[in-house]
Structure 1
Amino acid sequence: MKTKACILLAGIGLLLQSCYSYDDEGGSRYVELQLTDAFNFENDKNYVVGDTIFLELNFSRYLEEEGFSNLLDVYESTDSEEFSYPLELLKYSALSDNFVFTEIAEQFIFAEKGSVDGLYWVNAKLNDSRDTYESRIGLILAEEGEYRLNTQFLELESKWNFDKISIGIIHQFSDKTEEDFEFIVSE
């Protein structure tokens, strides 16, 4: 009798496990999109301590999705009024002969559009017309050195919502290189 009960319990366990799907927790509710040249940084290449540089990102809420002829409404799909992306400032180090990550104190970064979340995350927010996600971030240059904005892995993420899909947007540049984001700050 014990053997039959164990076999029955094992069978019910296998049946319940086969009904479980990672998709129930949003496992495959992720869409990846591409965006080109939405990030703008007008680089003068040479600055002095105290100057402010501005970084801007604007993109439509309607984006192309590979394999579909209609544009995807990312707001309707995610219910997210903002997309977040990292802001990484690198400073040249003679010791490592390379650009290394540099922390930015909160008094040296501000948002004219969008917001700054913590020290390294920027939120592009849906504008009042509800047709474009926008951010414009000011970075006050507080010390001299050779710098680079890290735009190599610029990816925007929607806010997670259990009832909606999550969208990741990989940003690419059509004609820019890492050197286009390098600049020098002097006294």
Structure 2
Amino acid sequence: MRMILLGPPAAGKGTQSKRLMDAYGIPQLATGDMLRAAVAAGTPIGIQAKAVMEGGGLVSDDIVIGIIAERIEHEDARKGFILDGFPRTVAQAEALDEMLAAKGLKLDAVIELVVDQTALVQRVMTRAAETQARGEPVRKDDDPEIFKTRLAAHNRDTAVVAPFYDQRGALKRIDGMQPIDVVSAGIDQILHAAKH
């Protein structure tokens, strides 16, 4: 089961990815983690990425696609994978399609968690307040101002990816404001239909 989970920060992608990993025995591939692992392992593409990162530059789409191409060859990804945080642009989505096609693979599902962004900001503010009330440090991502900045960046840069897949008839949408179990059940239905 090869899939992409789309949606703004705090939409529940991490929660759903964990459930999917457990249910299907497939890894969640977060590009940041893969980059760090490739650099640490000293793979050819990791060495390239390290040079760019040490120079303070952004890693190119070619390098990121190369790292994904390398990573999906690992044994744990043979049955599939969940891409989270990638693709972020239409160019990345096109490059991903080309790389998968070259391997004789394709995506089984592209699922967008659709959320009410005003309610999302409220959800994050509530979570931050509850964390503070327990006397625990608030996650940087849960700082309301930082969160609003991340949300604006998502709307500006990444929101174009869903329409790209929608035009190809590949996008499925789920109301991410529903209870976690209901969202999970909706994802399971989509994946079950994709297999048949």
Larger radius of gyration: 1
Normalised by the size of structure 1, how large is the TM-score? 0.23
Q: Which has the higher helix share?
A: 2
Normalised by the size of structure 2, how large is the TM-score? 0.22
Q: Which has the higher strand share?
A: 1
